[in-house]
């Protein structure tokens, strides 16, 4: 009986080690597929009077009133000789207002314009909000 329990424990430990190795290997392979990472600063203000700000280097939405929304476009281009995936995620306190596609696939030479939208809830407090939209360009498998 003790040998059977000991064998079960060894099998459980072995399965745990194998699972951990597979997980680490997957992370390693995944990191090799990232070709570029870009960060775009995001700024907006919630206030009483609407105002806008246009910039080519950042996503600046200007001042928005509660209950309003705004949009900006980003142009993506695949300059690689193979298909790529653009993966998006946001950081910072402006993140809660942003709406965007999470993944976009582009063929070689393909160009696509995507919309980044900001929606301000009606009960949002006035203030300045900032963050980053992070774009990871990955080779598709």
**CA 122/CA 127 separation, integer angstroms:** 14
Closest CA to 93 of 125, 52, 66, 123: 125
Residue 24's pLDDT is: 83
Q: What DSSP state is assigned to residue 51? A: B
Neighbours of 61 (CB within 10 A): 27
List the chain pLDDT tens, one digit each, 141 residues.
Answer: 667 778 888 888 888 899 988 888 877 766 667 889 999 999 999 998 765 666 667 898 989 999 999 999 999 999 999 999 999 999 999 999 999 999 999 999 999 999 999 999 999 999 999 999 999 999 886
**CA 77/CA 89 separation, integer angstroms:** 18
Secondary structure of the chain: what % helix, strand, coil (to 5)? Answer: 25, 45, 30
CATH assignment, 35-139 = 2.60.40
Residue 53's pLDDT is: 63
For the residues of 83-120, what is the DSSP string, one character each? -EEEEEEEEEGGGGGEE--SEEEE-TT-EEEEEEEEE-
pTM of the model: 0.72
Residue 52's pLDDT is: 61
Closest CA to 37 of 88, 82, 74: 88
Residue 42's pLDDT is: 95
């Amino acid at each position: 009986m003790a040998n059977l329990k000991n064998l079960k424990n060894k099998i459980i430990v072995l399965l745990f080690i194998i699972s951990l190795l597979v997980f680490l290997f997957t992370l390693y392979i995944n990191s090799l597929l990232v070709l570029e990472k870009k960060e775009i600063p995001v700024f907006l203000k919630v206030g009483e009077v609407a105002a806008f700000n246009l910039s080519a280097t950042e996503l600046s939405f200007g001042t928005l009133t509660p209950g309003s929304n705004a949009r900006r476009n980003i142009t993506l281009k695949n300059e690689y000789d193979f298909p790529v995936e653009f993966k998006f995620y946001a950081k910072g306190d402006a993140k809660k207002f942003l709406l965007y596609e999470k993944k976009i696939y582009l063929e070689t030479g393909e160009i696509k314009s995507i919309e980044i939208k900001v929606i301000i809830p009606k009960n949002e407090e006035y203030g300045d909000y900032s963050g980053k939209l992070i774009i990871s360009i990955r080779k598709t498998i």
